[in-house]
Amino acid sequence: MSTLTTLQDIMINDYRLTRAQLAPEAELSSLGIDSLDMLELFFKIEERLGIKIWNEVPGSLRTVHDVVAYVDDLRARQATVRDAPVPDHRVTPP
């Protein structure tokens, strides 16, 4: 399932919006999404997608597309970290 579809599903269920309202170019402010709603939304995204948002949610997220791009970037970076080989820190005798 795409990030856009997941985000739309959450917002449809929790914010009583329609899929048509949640086009990528839709402005979050015009949808009635404020900073507190964004915080709650990101908790739901973390839970649904199994990612961790370590920093504050950027204030630059203005549209549905901005949120999708931010989440996709987080997912890619966290997948890279998860897939990285674990260094072997065993001490070898001289």
Region 22-41 average pLDDT: 94
Note whether 44 and 10 are within 8 A (CB).
yes
Angle, CA of 16, 18 and 20, to the nearest 5°: 160
pLDDT at 92: 57
Q: Would the pLDDT of 56 be above 80?
A: no
Percent of the chain with pLDDT over 70: 85
Distance CA 19, CA 21 (A): 5
Which pTM does this prediction carry? 0.80
Q: Looking at the domain assignment, is residue 24 inside a domain?
A: yes
Average pLDDT of the chain?
A: 86
**DSSP three-state, residue 15:** helix
pLDDT at 84: 47
Tell me which residue range forms the domain holding 13: 3-76
pLDDT digits (tens, 9 = 90+) for 57-90: 788 999 999 999 999 999 888 877 655 454 555 5
* Count of structural domains, the chain: 1
Instruction: Report the CATH number that the domain containing residue 51 is assigned in CATH.
Output: 1.10.1200.10
Q: How many CA within 13 A on the CB side of residue 25?
A: 0
